[in-house]
Amino acid sequence: MNITLRRLAVVLVLLGLVYVPAFVPKAEAGNTNRTGTAGAQELLIPVGARGIALGGSNIAFASGADAIYWNPAGVSRTSFGTEAYFSHMTYFANIGVDYGAVDVSFSGIGTFAASFKSIAFGNIAVTTEDNPDGTGATYSPTFIVAGLTYSRQLTDRISVGANFNFISETIVSTSATGFALDAGVQYSGLLVPELKLGVVIKNLGPNMTFGGPNLLRQGTTVGDIRGTQWYSVDAASFELPSQMEVGLAYDKQLGSMNKITVFGTFQNNNYSSDLYNIGAEYAFNNMIFVRGGYNYAPQAPKDQTGQLSQIYDYTLGAGINYNLGTFNFTFDYAYQHAVMLSSNNVFTVKLGF
């Protein structure tokens, strides 16, 4: 078992090292021609204030429950036997994103985790061709992602992990379900002890298709031979927004009380512009944290003023970590600045036992 997992880790690391030089120099590395053609976009909504405050650059250094979304390989790099994790984000247009996770470590076996993400859209007015201003009725879509995670630290340097996510989207009586796989590896001590490498492949899975009673329509055949008949609209299938990320992290201890960690990640997206993410974190006595990050999408189209029309640019955040004896308490906050839409605020609480 260990030999197989180690081989998988080596393959992912080598793939990541080869992947970056192959794509970074190309102006058309991302597939901007396919922007908007992938579904299940809730898979791309990040969770966790720490990772968001770092601009999503922490795939090489994420650990514990915080790593489930960013890189499942880091889940086993936890200091606790059990963790409980809760996060809330205020997204665009008063949309709420809630996330919860629990992970449990077993000596000699690995770490298992379960997670749940839900998107709260609020009430939306029902409109029809005859009532474009609304019928007086409302509906609320239900989008969820439920996941199971397994992670194992193979050596003191190498850890691997995978997420198995169930996706469900429901709009009134129309729904689609699917499955997605994430797989990642983290490697510590790359060339120097303080340098870490992370590679993760996300959102691999079969196409999804909507179906349900809301796709039934009434129609009359040509010549009215058979009268009015019911027929079902065949919805087109859509692919998942797969992506691959390669990241580095370097941490430096400055005396006994201070530490600085810098991060960098390249994210290749099959259905949108590629991203370059950087971030930095200052830690005082492993208790108080200050963070910042930046996202850069050079392939994003430009607006009329010549500015890149990427959604996000800079991120900021802070956190506090406190040991209460029987358990450890962590609170993190992140601010994600949106260039064109309302910015996001993220709050996360983590309990370690």
pLDDT of 85 > 60? The answer is yes
Is the distance from CB of 282 to CB of 50 less than 8 angstroms? no
Q: For residue 175, what are the β-bridge partners?
A: 170, 211
The Cα–Cα gap between 306 and 150 comes to 45
Give the highest mean pLDDT range of 17-21, 77-81, 84-88, 230-234.
84-88
pLDDT in tens, 325-335: 889 999 999 99
CATH of the domain at 128: 2.40.160.40
Total domains in the fold of the chain: 1
Query: What DSSP element (H or E) covers 17?
Result: helix 2-23
pLDDT recorded at residue 175: 95
List Cβ neighbours of 353 (8 Å cut-off, separation of 6 or more).
Answer: 80, 81, 82, 83, 84, 326, 327, 328
The Cα–Cα gap between 184 and 200 comes to 4
The Cα–Cα gap between 177 and 168 comes to 5
Longest dimension (CA), the chain: 87
pLDDT of 238 > 70? The answer is yes
Q: Are strands 288-296 and 258-269 parallel, antiparallel or unpaired?
A: unpaired
The token duo for 2 is 């260990």
pLDDT recorded at residue 303: 67
Prediction pTM value: 0.87
pLDDT in tens, 124-135: 999 888 899 889
At 306, is the pLDDT very low, low, confident or very high (cuts 50, 70, 90)? low
pLDDT in tens, 244-285: 999 999 999 999 999 999 999 999 988 888 899 999 999 999
Mean pLDDT of 20-47: 65
Mean pLDDT of 56-68: 96
Is the distance from CB of 343 to CB of 91 less than 8 angstroms? no
Mean pLDDT of 289-300: 92
pLDDT of 196 > 60? The answer is yes
First to last CA, the chain: 29
The Cα–Cα gap between 245 and 12 comes to 11
The Cα–Cα gap between 167 and 177 comes to 5
The Cα–Cα gap between 294 and 35 comes to 22
pLDDT of 307 > 70? The answer is no
Angle at 243 between CA 203 and CA 104, to 5 degrees: 50
φ/ψ of residue 125, rounded to 5: -70, 140
pLDDT recorded at residue 340: 78
Structural domain including 149 reads: 2-352
